[in-house]
């Protein structure tokens, strides 16, 4: 790996392509507090030369650069925080220009099946690139990520949902259809001002949107579960909701027909997550909530068996900007750079 | 019916027992704006002699009276807004003292089966009283309510859930188990200051609680559905969540196995609710949200069929203090007093 | 006055020009609940033919019409809810087309001095029109409003500030400079989605803006106070703040040098507001708060004398969409149409 | 200094007395992320043996101990986070038991004049202890703090107000009376559930409280300004407000008669704060807001001169739990322990 000239002695260096989005700002904030990674550059096409605090007053005071004026070969890792459709092309360019390691936070390289990708995103991408990309969920692919040059960082809903259901899929207990009732804070809708993100619309409201199988994270969740379950297909019915809070996702998953008795679910999850630094499995009677995960890289999971109906409700809370985006990207970069997995992250 | 001496000419008069709770204040507010019902008295044991605005600065400026000092025979209708366990006894006393009509907003008289009542509430009640009480959901029992002396006003979650599922239960399309993922604003937790209702706990959070079949509204929903479905039992798995908003409930109901094709659900709901003044059935593609129901007596319903999984998601939004409590109580009182059903209410 | 053909028997009829803005929707909502005024039309250039609920799901279900297709002569009163700069021209056109009475909710006709208007708004207007317009603060100009054909409805900050300071100005106790620290909910910024109104910016924040003498309501407040004080000029230093709530304004006014003793301020305000139906003067020790005024036409005033520093702090809370806009417009229309001043309004 | 046995090699160790309050939890959180200070113990009388996450799910997973079972001589610094009235006595006990350094976060030892203390807090304290305590505002007393054994950590409102006004007081430009219109998030009211902190009261509201000279921080601000201004007395008229946000304070200070021209204020503040790591002075046209300070130890200051009225408005935003409490306590401890002043803190 290259060592950046701007990083302090012994530090690794990082660049953030697309630093002004919600996820980009959170990445710059996390890198700013990371003991072993220093920020070499954050880029923006429209804000080049200006300060990141103009976008978000709580951001570190970082001068933004135009992407054409940064050298991806000079840093140890590049984070690409661009919208899907635009990201894969930039990832390719960054690799061509010598980036030694890349974490792509978009959806462009998450779905391995080209047809599913096209149906879901409707955009072009290099299938060679897609084939190289490792899906960046450390709880499922830790060693692959550690050896990867290119990681596709999971989506926020997909992370919460997969962590809620992985133990069941791996144990062969997941039924063919699972319902996920998911709730997201408004930062999940991005920084663009729209009627939906207007304070006077989001405040004092909760509403579902894209109910069914139309949200782009549905095939991503299904892919993760299928790979966990030895290829057996699982269908997700997904009902995301917009909640009047800034950060956080709660995925309430309703599993009907897992066939687990009262202790079975507990043992399964206890065993599966015993060594996971960022998954907190709550005791019986406690419930996962966004407040326990916000401003951290934690995923908090609670189990709610309803044995007389053969139903298991699993709730998983994360920070959509933390474990659901920038935090997980740092976790992946730590693995790729040979740093302790938890460094620079809160919640373990 | 008696005519109250304090009501203006041609007006009906009402008393509110327990006017300082969240529901009591909302009732006083609705009566204050009702063109045909005037408030004769609002009572409070602890605040007698003081003004309701001390409790809630947005309440009408009403002087509170001690319940022993009011005459229930002097008004046309008495609303009882006491906690469950305390309410049935007061209802009985009010009837003994001559109250011509009563709407009880507690859970004391909602469940017709004495055993289910005891298991759910663990409290004593007169079974004679319970047998007389009509369950106050006008969409299901309009004519019974109109002829009743005593109405048990439904619970907030129970109202939203039942209105979402009634057409399916009546048509014999409801499967044996339905999952309801419900979301409530903080006023649903009452006025008592607790760690849960502290701003710094409820704000920027969402969390499930009492997941499974333990919430007191579960048997109430099941009773309504069973009565709608010719006695066939339906089980509910219920996951209520606390949402950082003041008012509102959203019930997102996941029905698996209704066997309805794409148009079937639409026709069923269109037919069922065509003449209901307070049920707004949204067009395809639109989603029920709390903002559409808050500060009104409206129930807003949207349908989200997922045909390839034989799933129908039905969302229903109400104001927990409106259609979920005080608004529905007024609707019931209008029916009992022979007034137009929609009078004094918003949302039709 | 004309009688609209669409209004029920005995009702007056109203039209709303620009019904889709924050203020327009609130007006339609208030008219919808008004016992003596019926809505004949609400207009929108961009949304003609569509339903107002598409803009705001809590609005009445009103079909919008193009302004060229409505007849202002067919109604009893026209409310013009257009942005400043665009409004005066439309008011003129509506009068030319026969509108019998108009309430203009913009800033176009509020400032009587043409130079001050030009400096403040930088826009053209008919000075003949401006000379005819009566400034619509009933607490100051009730009889003029009752006889007017054209009323300029006051601004939200201007209403709260003037009601806090009017008694002092009229009594000759207002010093030459007064500081107003004002706080507004986000609906005051309008419906347009901007970075400022994004939930993730306004939430969990408070910030001042346009501090000093640059806000457009400063000359409006000064004009009201000067007219109250026999023409003596008063200067305002104004610090408005954006607060994470939907509705409401609180004006905290710091008056240094009024020379009033402890009881003097109390007597002054008691006398001045004794007969005002919408001004609630709180008792000593109580404080004006937005919650006491929201969703009503009330202005709530509290007095906080600091005698050893010769300071009087006066706080006034209103709903910026109520007494600060649509509510006051209805109050003005009630006066113009000869209806009871409080009809259709809450808070008295 | 003692070296704690539980601290990692080279680390300093700390104890927190009263770890379950709002401030205590924030201190534990900051120590958890501090690179050179490790937590030896956090205490609670009522929660001994239980986990801090039971109080706040976002807190580090720390087991609480009874204060009688910890050894204050075993750590390098003790933070005392008890209510005023209870704190001074415990500080004394901790010193007696060998605590080498103490930061007291209560109001017990802030006011140097015994009479002012008694009038303000009405509680007993050791005047010897009070005489030893250094007022812990590093921007005013950096070197004294570095040499102190006992530091009285400033109040939240007092910190924001003093940082807004210090340059003026020091330069002799502060008039005899200054008005401070302050706004606080709800965490400033503590963790106790009360009607005021109930979500349904604080949400969608803003209200003043304790207006005038009655808030306990008034004499603290006056003491700081008097010491900065060579003993000349300054009076503060103070209007604190409760704002619906979790964290943050904004102090909007209205200074009338400073006699500074347009550039004078800018130069004064530029010079004064040039070397202060945690004071961010904004450029002309920008305004201090809570979002720029929350979750950091930053104080953000903006200047708003109104020259034609000889008024200077100064706004200062801090996090009430950060620079207003726990963050400043860490800053003080860093100074006392000889660590870099900014270590473990965000915002510089």
| C281 phi and psi angles, rounded to 5 deg | -95, 120
Q: Would you mind telling me the total number of residues written for chain C in this entry?
A: 348
What is the 8-class DSSP label of residue A74?
A: G
On whether any CB of chain D is under 8 Å from the CB of A53, the answer is yes
pLDDT at A113 over 70: yes
pLDDT tens across B154-190, in order?
999 999 999 999 999 999 999 999 999 999 999 999 9
Contact A199 C186 (CB under 8 A): yes
Interface of B with D in 191-210 (CB under 8 A): 191, 193-195, 197-200, 202-204
Contact B202 D204 (CB under 8 A): no
> What percentage of chain B has pLDDT greater than the value 90?
94
Q: Is position D301 within any domain?
A: yes
On whether any CB of chain A is under 8 Å from the CB of C190, the answer is no
Burial status of residue C206 (CB atoms within 10 A of its CB: 0-12, 13-18, 19 or more): buried
Q: How many CA atoms lie within 13 A of D256 on its CB side?
A: 22
pLDDT of residue C9: 59
Q: What is the mean pLDDT of chain C?
A: 95
Q: How many CA atoms lie within 13 A of B328 on its CB side?
A: 35
- CB A289 within 8 Å of CB B206: yes
- CB B16 within 8 Å of CB B24: yes
> What percentage of chain B has pLDDT greater than the value 70?
97
Cα(first)–Cα(last) distance of chain B, in Å?
A: 28
In whole angstroms, give the CA distance from residue D40 to residue A217. Answer: 44
pLDDT tens across D216-236, in order?
999 999 999 999 987 788 999
Domain that holds residue A292: 157-321
Residues of B forming the active site: 156
pLDDT of residue C8: 56
Provide mean pLDDT across the span B278-286: 96
pLDDT of residue A8: 56
In whole angstroms, give the CA distance from residue D62 to residue D54. Answer: 10
Q: Is position C219 within any domain?
A: yes
Provide mean pLDDT across the span A41-61: 96
pLDDT tens across B219-258, in order?
999 999 999 987 788 999 999 999 999 999 999 999 999 9
pLDDT at A262 over 90: no
Q: What is the mean pLDDT of chain B?
A: 95
pLDDT of residue C205: 98
- CB C241 within 8 Å of CB C171: no
Q: Same domain, yes or no, for B96 and B241?
A: no
Q: Name the closest residue on chain B to residue C54, using Cα atoms.
A: B286
CA angle at A287 for the pair A283 and A291, rounded to the nearest 5°: 115
Contact D292 A346 (CB under 8 A): no
Q: Same domain, yes or no, for D122 and D207?
A: no
pLDDT at C158 over 50: yes
pLDDT of residue D2: 33
For residue C186, the SS3 value is helix
pLDDT of residue B9: 58
Provide mean pLDDT across the span A141-149: 98
Burial status of residue C287 (CB atoms within 10 A of its CB: 0-12, 13-18, 19 or more): buried
Q: Same domain, yes or no, for B93 and B182?
A: no
pLDDT at B126 over 60: yes
In whole angstroms, give the CA distance from residue D172 to residue D175. Answer: 8
Q: Is position B173 within any domain?
A: yes
Contact A197 C199 (CB under 8 A): yes
On whether any CB of chain B is under 8 Å from the CB of D46, the answer is no
Show the DSSP H helices in C171-292 as ranges. Answer: 199-202, 217-228, 262-273
Domain boundary among C87, C115, C132: C132
Residue B45's domain is classified under what CATH number? 3.40.50.720
- Give the helix, strand, coil percentages of chain A, each rounded to 5: 35, 20, 45
pLDDT tens across C193-227, in order?
999 999 999 999 999 999 999 999 999 999 999 99
Q: Same domain, yes or no, for A93 and A161?
A: no
Chains in contact with D, where contact requires at least 3 CB pairs less than 8 Å apart: A, B, C
Tokens of D101: 């350094």
In whole angstroms, give the CA distance from residue B31 to residue B19. Answer: 12
Q: Which residues contact B173 (CB under 8 A, 6 or more apart)?
A: B258, B259, B260, B268
Q: Given B201, B237, B313, which is nearest A306 (Cβ)?
A: B237
DSSP string, A108-141: TTT--SHHHHHHHH-----HHHHHHPEE--HHHH
Tokens of B160: 């939203």
Residues of B in contact with C53 (CB under 8 A): 292
pLDDT tens across B190-201, in order?
999 999 999 999
Interface of D with C in 154-183 (CB under 8 A): 177, 179, 181, 183
Residue D276's domain is classified under what CATH number? 3.30.360.10
Q: Same domain, yes or no, for B187 and B238?
A: yes
Residue for token pair 């009587």: C112
Q: Same domain, yes or no, for B175 and B252?
A: yes
Q: Is position D149 within any domain?
A: no
Q: Given A22, A195, A199, which is nearest C203 (Cβ)?
A: A199
Q: Given A206, A212, A309, which is nearest B245 (Cβ)?
A: A206
Q: Same domain, yes or no, for A93 and A229?
A: no
For residue D15, the SS3 value is strand
Strands B102-104 and B37-43: unpaired
CA angle at A149 for the pair A147 and A152, rounded to the nearest 5°: 100
DSSP string, B61-116: --B-B-GGG--GGGSSEEEE---TTTHHHHHHHHHHTT-S-EEE-SSTTT--SHHH
pLDDT at C237 over 70: yes
Interface of A with B in 255-294 (CB under 8 A): 256, 287-291, 294
Q: Same domain, yes or no, for A72 and A164?
A: no
In whole angstroms, give the CA distance from residue C338 to residue A303. Answer: 65
Q: Same domain, yes or no, for D251 and D291?
A: yes
pLDDT confidence tier of residue C4, bands split at 50, 70 and 90: very low
Of A290, A319, A291, A314, nearest to A301 by C-alpha is A314
B207 Cα to chain A: minimum distance (Å)? 4
Q: Same domain, yes or no, for D115 and D162?
A: no
For residue D337, the SS3 value is helix
- CB A42 within 8 Å of CB A13: no
Torsion angle defined by CA atoms of residues D227, D231, D237 and D242, in that order, rounded to the nearest 10 degrees: 10
Residues of A forming the active site: 156
Q: Same domain, yes or no, for C285 and C249?
A: yes
pLDDT confidence tier of residue B4, bands split at 50, 70 and 90: very low
Residue B259: CB atoms within 10 Å: 10
Q: What is the mean pLDDT of chain D?
A: 95
Q: Is position C329 within any domain?
A: no
pLDDT of residue A1: 30
Q: Same domain, yes or no, for C201 and C299?
A: yes
pTM: 0.96
Of A124-128, B109-113, C69-73, D149-153, where does mean pLDDT reach its minimum?
A124-128
Q: Which residues contact B152 (CB under 8 A, 6 or more apart)?
A: B104, B108, B109, B110, B133, B134, B135, B136
Provide mean pLDDT across the span A123-131: 94
Provide mean pLDDT across the span D224-250: 95
Q: Chain-centre distance of CA D76, in angstroms?
A: 21
How many domains are contained in chain B?
2
Distances in Å between the Cα of C24 and the Cα atoms of C15, C94, C107, C291 are 10, 17, 15, 22
pLDDT tens across C131-147, in order?
999 999 999 999 999 99
Tokens of C77: 């009163």
Q: How many CA atoms lie within 13 A of A136 on its CB side?
A: 36
Q: Is position A343 within any domain?
A: no
pLDDT of residue B214: 96
> What percentage of chain A has pLDDT greater than the value 90?
94
Q: Is position D270 within any domain?
A: yes
CA angle at D132 for the pair D129 and D135, rounded to the nearest 5°: 110
pLDDT tens across A209-220, in order?
999 999 999 999
- CB D208 within 8 Å of CB C291: no
Residue for token pair 């704006």: B33
On whether any CB of chain C is under 8 Å from the CB of A58, the answer is no
pLDDT confidence tier of residue D9, bands split at 50, 70 and 90: low
pLDDT of residue B71: 98
- The residues facing C239 across adjacent strands are C181
Residues of B in contact with C56 (CB under 8 A): 291
ipTM field: 0.95
pLDDT of residue A9: 59
Provide mean pLDDT across the span A36-41: 97
Q: Is position B332 within any domain?
A: no
C92 Cα to chain B: minimum distance (Å)? 35
- The residues facing A299 across adjacent strands are A279
Residue for token pair 């003067």: C281
Tokens of B135: 């369950």
- Strand intervals (E) in A43-130: 77-80, 102-104
pLDDT of residue B129: 97
pLDDT of residue D11: 87
Residues of D in contact with A58 (CB under 8 A): 291-292, 294-296
């Amino acid at each position: 790996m290259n060592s950046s000239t701007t990083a302090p002695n012994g530090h690794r260096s990082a660049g953030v392509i697309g630093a002004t989005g919600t996820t980009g700002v959170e990445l710059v904030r996390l890198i700013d507090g990371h003991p072993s990674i220093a920020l070499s550059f954050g880029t923006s096409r429209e804000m080049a030369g200006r300060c990141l605090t103009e976008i978000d007053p709580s951001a570190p005071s970082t001068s933004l650069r135009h992407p054409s004026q940064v050298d991806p070969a000079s840093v140890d890792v590049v984070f690409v925080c661009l919208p899907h459709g635009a990201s894969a092309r930039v990832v390719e360019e960054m690799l061509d220009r010598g980036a030694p390691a890349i974490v792509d936070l978009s959806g462009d390289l998450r779905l391995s099946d080209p047809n599913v990708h096209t149906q879901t995103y409707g955009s072009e991408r290099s299938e060679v690139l897609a084939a190289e990309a490792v899906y960046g969920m450390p709880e499922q692919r830790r060693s692959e990520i550690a050896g990867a040059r290119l990681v596709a960082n999971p989506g926020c809903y997909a992370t919460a949902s997969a962590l809620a259901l992985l133990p069941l899929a791996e144990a062969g207990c997941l039924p063919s259809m699972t319902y996920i009732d998911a709730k997201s804070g408004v930062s999940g809708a991005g920084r663009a001002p729209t009627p939906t993100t207007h304070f006077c619309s989001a405040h004092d409201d909760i509403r579902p949107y894209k109910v069914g199988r139309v949200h782009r994270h549905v095939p991503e969740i299904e892919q993760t579960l299928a790979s966990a379950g030895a290829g057996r297909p699982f269908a997700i019915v997904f009902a995301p909701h917009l909640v009047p809070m800034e950060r956080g996702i709660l995925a309430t998953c309703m599993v009907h027909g897992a066939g687990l008795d009262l202790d079975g679910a507990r043992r399964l999850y206890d065993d599966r997550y015993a060594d996971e630094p960022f998954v907190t499995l709550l005791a019986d009677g406690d419930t996962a909530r966004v407040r326990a995960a916000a401003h951290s890289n934690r995923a908090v999971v609670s189990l709610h068996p309803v044995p007389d109906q053969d139903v298991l409700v699993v709730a998983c809370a994360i920070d959509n900007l933390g474990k659901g985006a920038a935090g997980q990207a740092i976790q992946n970069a730590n693995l790729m750079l040979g740093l302790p997995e938890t460094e620079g992250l809160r919640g373990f």
